[in-house]
Structure 1
Amino acid sequence: MSGYYGGSQSRYRRNPVPSGDGAAVGCGCLVAMCLSPLLLWLLIPAASVMVVYATGHCLYEYLKRLASVMGVGRWAAAAPVPPPPDRPAGRNEPAYVHYLFGPALVDLRHAARVALPAPWQVGRRYDHLIRRTFQGRDPAGLMVPLGIVSWLSMAVGIGSGFLVVTMLCLIQLTIVGLMAFAVIAAGLVLRAADSGMRVVKGVRTSCPSCHQHVHYPSYDCSASSCGRRHRDIRPGRFGVVKRRCACGTLLPTLLIMGSGDGRMRAFCPHCGEPMSAGAGAVPEIVIPVLGAATTGKTRLMTALVMGLVEGPGGHGATTRFADEQSANAYRGLADKLRAGVHTWKTIKAKDAPLRAYSLRVAPPSGSPRLLHIFDAPGELVGRSELLRELRYIKVARTFLFTLDLLSVDAVWASLPPEEQARQEQLRSDVPTDFVFGQLVQNIEGLGVATTRARLIVALTKDDLVCHSPVLAGVGHGSEDIRRWLEGPAGLDGVVRTMRRHFGEIRFFRTSSWLHDGLIDHSVLDLSGWILAKEGLRVHNSA
């Protein structure tokens, strides 16, 4: 034993440790084993922090770029949206497309190009930073492992960030899709509700110029300095409740929101002519005034309109002109009526359709109506091909037929020769039975169910022949007039034809001349009967 600790036994020492030369080599392993848990305890949280930070950085970059795509923030770079055209072209209107029907898709595509690559670009920056920090640095034994751990942590964070961004993008796409679907559904529901309201209110719109059925009018922008025309303003890709014109003005898209209240001018989509104020929003009444030439149609119509607008013909209803064209045409005729001179004949231009006299009638209670009175030229009666051009007849449910009392042979024969000479130019020379037969044939040829329609027979020029002995004892009641026509007047065949074809008939003796500036009571009774039969709550006694 003594040899092991000294002397010759010293050669058995395998690991001599000179005094003061440090610890033995085996102690390094022990130190490494002790420090490894500490290093792992530090690296794992550090790596986790790097993963979370890289993920958050990816999300931040994505949201920042998304904000710029949406035009928000200092780095706003929204995708350009083409301005709307000044005139309708194809499917385009002079209005901004609703965000969910176009710009949203543009923004999504722009976001996919600009914002979605954010994690990849963040990863490239981190890769460059890690390589510059740890590659080729001393001590290599420490820096290389730290670099590898940092790079792997960054890769995991970028990968998770890409997943988060992708999920967020898919959520955005889903939300936009659901919102677009909801807006489309809302637009369809509002369209259906708008159409349903029109059906319930009995609104059927026709152009007073071309007489075509108008499903929905076109409208000009309500801004006085704009004038852009919107072809179809109903809920759709340009707006659901409101749409924005190219000039920036908000326009209502629904009748219930005010598109038909008269603030915007309505135009016919077929001929482009202006329509009456309120067209498409209120029910319309179409009254064709039919008869042979020189039967007094224009004068009777003028007296009828005068009674409605200026006199008591509205029977409590307030009446005003629905468009400037009607007001201008009426002024010239009304001046002649007041002056006691004859009105001019209605002449239809070769290629121009006959325009109606349009009035807005608001009864004391109930909804207003648009009243269109058409004065058809008498020359059309004998020509079926021209009479069929009067397409407004198809929507009429009340027809006004003028029968000239001077054309009744019994009345004419009862007049003295000097009276006949004075009234010769005022007498219609077309037989009544021929005129009415042509009218019925063409009205039914246009598809009108006359058995469900009303016929007003106005015996005109009563003021000229009221003292005729043939009319002695004939009252102003409808039945009295009918019996006289079937008897002394000799028009029993015409009356039978009327009763066979029309569901309801009313006879009036009318005078269109003013008496001391006042309209004859017969015309007032006629207007009151028309309004009452068309469903207006007026104070009518006819």
Structure 2
Amino acid sequence: MGTLILLVFGAWLVIMFFAIPGPFITAAAALYFAGLLVVAYFQEFGRAMGLGPNPAAAAADRPPSRRTEDGREPAYRQYLFRQAGRDLRHTHRLVWPRLVAIATGRRRQLKNAFFGYGPMDWRWPIGVVLIVGLLVGTLLGLTVISLVAAAQGVVLLGVGLVAFLGIYLLRGVDTVLLWIRGVRITCPACYRRGFYPVYECRNCTARHHDVRPGRYGVVRRICACGERLPTLLLLGSHRMKAFCAHCEAPLADRVGTSAEVVLPVFGAAGAGKTRLMIVIMMAVDAIARRSDATLQLADEDTRRWDTQARRELLGSDNVAKTRIRLPRAYSIYLKPRRGGRRLVHVFDPAGEYFNESDRLQELQFLRLASTFLFIVDPLSIDGLWSRLDRRDQDRNRSIRARREPEFVFAQTVQNLEAMGVRTRKSRLVVVVSKRDLISRLLSADGVEDSNEAVERWLDENLQQGNMLRAMRHAFGEVSFFLTTSVVSDDHQVDDSVERLTSWTLARQGLRLSG
């Protein structure tokens, strides 16, 4: 009877325990276990981010030191484009073993502490309550962790979307501004055009083929060497050394900051193109100094050519013949006292290119120009040559152009049309060279130094009417200049070259007052 009373009393105590303090103990245990799991999640998240006393961050992709064949750039990817997702997955790989270990360890502790002592042991009801609390807490903790992980994923997706929109917004704004300013980058070697070149890292000289906002950075990209590089011209990418994106030839200093002008000089071999171009560069320099304009040689090739050409012209009055190869532009920055700065590319192809259509097709820079300088050697026109006496012919035979201008012009126009150049919207500047060598004939013919007088002289005295009509038919505007590329003892160019230079540059929006 006493045993029965004890059993009933014990059962009553167990029931009362489960009914009154049991739920509170279960709730407290559940909150405790859930807190353990949530705290463990954030601890592992911190470790995955490289924080805390025992960091375990996921290794970042090490970029190649040079651009690879599959297009990988020598730069770290922007965090949101790969590493953020990798860090999130790495966090989960760290978290789940930790959570399982916590739940398993706590269950083992409860089992050892409250079970295995028989049904009459007073500890088992507490163990049951705590086990229930462990189960509820595990479910609660996993629910909170799942919500946190989902929120992190949503935030990551949202930030990624904002970055994606920001990238294309920045690209669009930059492209529109470049288009409004008329900036198109012209390669002086392969003649292709584009908005963005290849840039060389200032620290390790690795070349980055597309620094615009993208997967390697929004406003900055980090080179493999750790150098931070701007992604837009507006942010300073023009301060880096630039190369053509197609042939990787070096481009002008600070390329992309100014609108560009392509100015081809063409004519027969021996017509005086190279000599005239050197004198024109000297004229630009002189005019710029007088008018408070700014002139800057734009690249190392131009600086080297300018130094050598002036030394040859001023030292011996001879100029090396243009080599028969694809010409590289000679580039200068010009900024008038009023108006924007321009980058002017002057091309001087060898006259031999104009003898054959196949070779002329290689001069793709002709497609980029709106103004063409056609150099006419009057000595190459039979009508004038026959009027020279034998002594003048012998003296000038070596410098006489090898082809008559009519042939060279017809050959060039035919190929311009084949290239798709709309010559009717272009300007032709006809430059009659070597005026100093034919001054006696010019005086005899009463030729004045004016556009109409030179054209009339070519038509009536030299019988070039067919060529002149072809010029008027092919081009929307044709102008004529009579020049001499002689430099005085004090290194001053002839007035005729200055007039030609000022007039031509003014048509390109560069009005320099002499």
TM-score bracket relative to the smaller structure: over 0.9
- In the alignment, what sits opposite 1:86? 65
Q: State how far apart, in whole Å, the 2-side matches of 1:181 and 1:286 are.
A: 41
Q: How does 1:320-399 map to 2 (within 5 A)?
A: 320-349=296-325, 353-399=326-372
Q: State how far apart, in whole Å, the 2-side matches of 1:218 and 1:441 are.
A: 34
Q: State how far apart, in whole Å, the 1-side matches of 2:477 and 2:135 are.
A: 89
Are positions 1:247 and 2:225 aligned together?
yes
- In the alignment, what sits opposite 1:534? 508
Deviation at 1:117, TM superposition (A): 4.5
| 2:38 aligned to which of 59, 84, 88 | 59
Q: State how far apart, in whole Å, the 1-side matches of 2:444 and 2:331 are.
A: 35
Deviates more, 1:139-148 or 1:308-317: 308-317
Contact 1:314 1:528 in 2 (8 A): no
User: CA deviation digits over 1:481-515, x for unaligned, max 9?
Assistant: 22222222321211111111001112111111112
- In the alignment, what sits opposite 2:78? 98
Q: How does 1:382-421 map to 2 (within 5 A)?
A: 382-421=355-394
The DSSP-based 3-state class of the residue aligned with 2:123 is helix
Deviates more, 1:503-512 or 1:304-313: 304-313
User: CA deviation digits over 1:234-275, x for unaligned, max 9?
Assistant: 111100111011111111111111112xx2111112222211
User: CA deviation digits over 1:377-410, x for unaligned, max 9?
Assistant: 1111111100110011111111110011222344
Deviation at 1:166, TM superposition (A): 0.9
Are positions 1:519 and 2:513 aligned together?
no
Q: How does 1:164-243 map to 2 (within 5 A)?
A: 164-223=144-203, 226-243=204-221
User: CA deviation digits over 1:200-248, x for unaligned, max 9?
Assistant: 121222211122334521110022xx11111111111100111011111
Shift in alpha-carbon separation, 1:33–1:46, aligned structure 2, 3 A? same
User: CA deviation digits over 1:330-386, x for unaligned, max 9?
Assistant: 22211122125221211124xxx3211111222223332211111111111111100
Contact 2:379 2:385 in 1 (8 A): yes
Deviation at 1:144, TM superposition (A): 1.1
- In the alignment, what sits opposite 1:12? none
Contact 2:14 2:125 in 1 (8 A): no
Deviates more, 1:499-508 or 1:483-492: 483-492
Q: Which runs of 5+ in 2 are unaligned?
A: none
| 2:283 aligned to which of 294, 307, 314 | 307
Q: State how far apart, in whole Å, the 1-side matches of 2:415 and 2:20 are.
A: 101
Shift in alpha-carbon separation, 1:88–1:288, aligned structure 2, 3 A? same
Q: How does 1:32-47 map to 2 (within 5 A)?
A: 40-47=19-26
Contact 2:61 2:76 in 1 (8 A): no
User: CA deviation digits over 1:279-331, x for unaligned, max 9?
Assistant: 33322111111000111000000111122245548854311111111111222
Are positions 1:273 and 2:273 aligned together?
no
Contact 2:288 2:512 in 1 (8 A): no
Q: State how far apart, in whole Å, the 2-side matches of 1:476 and 1:47 are.
A: 109
| 1:73 aligned to which of 52, 57, 65 | 52
Shift in alpha-carbon separation, 1:470–1:431, aligned structure 2, 3 A? farther
Q: State how far apart, in whole Å, the 2-side matches of 1:215 and 1:63 are.
A: 46
Contact 1:68 1:77 in 2 (8 A): yes
Shift in alpha-carbon separation, 1:440–1:28, aligned structure 2, 3 A? closer
Q: State how far apart, in whole Å, the 1-side matches of 2:492 and 2:3 are.
A: 136
The DSSP-based 3-state class of the residue aligned with 1:243 is strand
The DSSP-based 3-state class of the residue aligned with 1:505 is strand
Contact 1:340 1:513 in 2 (8 A): no
Q: State how far apart, in whole Å, the 2-side matches of 1:206 and 1:479 are.
A: 35
* TM-score normalized with structure 2 length: 0.94
**Alignment-mate amino acid for residue 362 of structure 1:** K
Question: Percent of aligned positions with the same letter in both sequences?
Answer: 35
Shift in alpha-carbon separation, 1:290–1:34, aligned structure 2, 3 A? closer
User: CA deviation digits over 1:144-186, x for unaligned, max 9?
Assistant: 1111110001110011100110111111111111111211111
- In the alignment, what sits opposite 2:134? 154
Are positions 1:112 and 2:88 aligned together?
no
Contact 2:299 2:331 in 1 (8 A): yes
Are positions 1:461 and 2:440 aligned together?
no
Q: State how far apart, in whole Å, the 2-side matches of 1:209 and 1:336 are.
A: 24
Deviation at 1:538, TM superposition (A): 3.1
* TM-score normalized with structure 1 length: 0.89
Deviates more, 1:387-396 or 1:400-409: 400-409
The DSSP-based 3-state class of the residue aligned with 1:381 is helix
The DSSP-based 3-state class of the residue aligned with 1:380 is helix
**Alignment-mate amino acid for residue 85 of structure 2:** L
Shift in alpha-carbon separation, 1:458–1:169, aligned structure 2, 3 A? same
Q: State how far apart, in whole Å, the 1-side matches of 2:296 and 2:5 are.
A: 114
Shift in alpha-carbon separation, 1:181–1:151, aligned structure 2, 3 A? same
Q: State how far apart, in whole Å, the 2-side matches of 1:291 and 1:424 are.
A: 17
The DSSP-based 3-state class of the residue aligned with 1:298 is helix
Contact 1:303 1:523 in 2 (8 A): yes
The CA RMSD over aligned residues, in Å, is 2.4
Greater C-alpha Rg: 1
Are positions 1:319 and 2:299 aligned together?
no
| 1:135 aligned to which of 110, 115, 131 | 115
The DSSP-based 3-state class of the residue aligned with 2:199 is strand
Q: State how far apart, in whole Å, the 1-side matches of 2:304 and 2:101 are.
A: 72
Contact 2:25 2:129 in 1 (8 A): no
The DSSP-based 3-state class of the residue aligned with 1:131 is helix
- In the alignment, what sits opposite 1:6? none
Q: Which runs of 5+ in 1 are unaligned?
A: 1-14, 16-22
